[in-house]
Amino acid sequence: MNVKTPTKPRAKSPILDAVHETAADLHRLGFIDKRKMGQFEALCIEPVPTYDSAQIRALRAQLKLSQAVLASVLNTSVSTVRKWEQGDKQPSGPSLKLLNLLDRKGLEAVL
């Protein structure tokens, strides 16, 4: 059986990683409220990279998925995936995070 450990968000630098870890410990102990912890996370965590139309097409081809299946995995419509691949629209929010997860960890990470 493969046991997965929770992954810690990637920080921009080792120093920010240490700051985030310390803030998380203080939050866990009740010294930092949820709002302040959110500010630390926004400061320390790497932003999700954007994907252009060619990268989305390449990712879908690499995963050997049709537009319909990718749309289903991302919980979006086929027309949205088509617009991303044509460059008419850019993925954002949860779809962008899921694309990044698919890119980094593969299909198994989201199924």
Going residue by residue through the chain, which has 111 residues, state the pLDDT in tens, using 9 for 90 and above: 333 333 455 556 788 888 888 989 999 999 999 999 988 888 877 788 999 999 999 999 999 999 999 999 999 999 999 999 999 999 999 999 999 999 999 999 888
- pLDDT in the model for residue 2: 34
Domain of residue 92 covers: 51-107
- pLDDT in the model for residue 16: 80
What Å distances lie between residue 108 and 63, 66, 73, 79, CA to CA? 10, 16, 11, 24
Maximum C-alpha span of the chain: 48
> Does residue 88 sit within a domain?
yes
Residue 95 and residue 75 share a domain: yes
Residue 96 and residue 57 share a domain: yes
- pLDDT in the model for residue 39: 86
Sequence-separated (6 or more) residues with CB below 8 Å from residue 72: none
Residue 94 and residue 55 share a domain: yes
- pLDDT in the model for residue 12: 65
Residue 79 and residue 38 share a domain: no
Residue 68 and residue 25 share a domain: no
- pLDDT in the model for residue 95: 94
Residue 95 and residue 57 share a domain: yes
Residue 55 and residue 36 share a domain: no
Given a contact cutoff of 8 angstroms between Cβ atoms, the answer to whether 11 and 44 are in contact is yes
Residue 83 and residue 35 share a domain: no
- pLDDT in the model for residue 10: 57
In sequence order, the β-bridge partners of residue 11 are 45
Residue 27 and residue 65 share a domain: no
Reported in sequence order, the residue ranges of the chain that DSSP labels E, i.e. its strands, are none
Residue 97 and residue 60 share a domain: yes
Give the separation between CA 87 and CA 67, rounded to whole angstroms: 14
Provide the whole-model pTM: 0.65
